[in-house]
Amino acid sequence: MPLTQDQANKLKKAAATGSILLALTLCILKGFGVFYTGSLAVLSSMVDSLSDIFASLITFIAVKISVKPASYQYRYGYGKAEALSALFQAAFIAGSGVFILYDAFMRLQNPVSLQQTDFGLAIMIISLILTLILVAFQHYVAKLTNSQAIIADSLHYSVDIMTNLSIIISLVVIHFWQLTWIDTLMAAAISIYLIYNAYTLALEASGLLLDRELGEEIRQSIYSIVSKHPLSPKIHDLRTRDLGGIYMFEFHLELDGKLDLYTAHRYTDEVENLIRQTYPEAQIIIHQDPSGISEERLDNKLKS
């Protein structure tokens, strides 16, 4: 059963708050790890956690803004605030990656021996377990709410899982075989991975802000839903977009031109109600067209 908007908003706020608390906890833990081990890989992970604090705060603010009801000036609502927050997060992640990459290059020129790797291992294992718990909850929330901000935040911590695992492996190698260059290599790999993820995150957020069409599966579902109406009317010029967790559908509905306005309106309401059975929170705009009318269509323009 789909969530109500109020339930979805509460879940998003809980996920955003949890990510802030975790980011603060991990940053403190990894700070101890850097102090006791001198590991650049652990430092890179700590810098990432610092960026997560900033990113999670942005997410929290974005979620608070995005759940506000539509206003006179913003009649489509504030859902795209989440996409803006994702762009900020992408920039911060990319900056963190560049910083770590530079530090790795400098460390190659001036190698540093690591101390108390066993303490560092304990810190990173605890960090890994806590991050796994948060990511599992974020995935649950994102699946139910389709929140761009929570998806972006979850991506951060999914990367953290990979980095924590890689750092644990590097610390094990250093502990038993004293191959300190592994630490620098791992930090460089993490930074490149962070930059790549920042790019994909920015691409996704930009698509939402530029009103990219929803997936073909959703588009086809609209055609299928409309065809279930007893009249089986045709539609054309379907346009779809994501307003930030809420879908918007616009299309022309082809009806018998001899119908009176009241009957045409009733049929249109019936089609809209059919769509709302699958997409209860959707915003729907339907324009009625007499069936068979000759006119310039968006569908034809886009195909030419």
Q: Which stretches in the chain have pLDDT values below 70?
A: 1-3, 5, 38-41, 44-45, 48, 103, 106-117, 148-149, 156, 178, 180, 183, 304
User: In this structure, which CATH number among 3.40.50.150, 3.30.70.1350, 3.50.50.60, 2.102.10.10 belongs to the domain 216-303?
Assistant: 3.30.70.1350
User: In this structure, which CATH number among 2.40.10.410, 1.10.645.10, 3.30.1950.10, 1.20.1510.10 belongs to the domain 5-209?
Assistant: 1.20.1510.10
Within the chain, where are the H helices? 5-37, 40-66, 81-109, 117-145, 148-177, 181-209, 216-227, 261-278, 298-303
Distance CA 48, CA 129 (A): 17
Q: What percent of the chain has pLDDT over 70?
A: 88
Q: Per-residue pLDDT tens for 54-63?
A: 777 777 787 7
Domain spans of the chain?
Answer: 5-209, 216-303
Do residues 38 and 114 make contact, with C-beta atoms less than 8 angstroms apart?
yes
Q: Per-residue pLDDT tens for 112-168?
A: 555 556 777 788 888 888 888 988 888 888 888 777 667 777 776 777 777 777 777
pLDDT of residue 195: 85
pLDDT of residue 154: 77
Q: What is the 3-state secondary structure (H, E, C) of 205-259?
A: HHHHHCCCCCCHHHHHHHHHHHHCCCCCCEEEEEEEEECCCCEEEEEEEEECCCC
pTM over 0.85, yes/no: no
Q: What percent of the chain has pLDDT over 90?
A: 18
Distance CA 12, CA 152 (A): 12
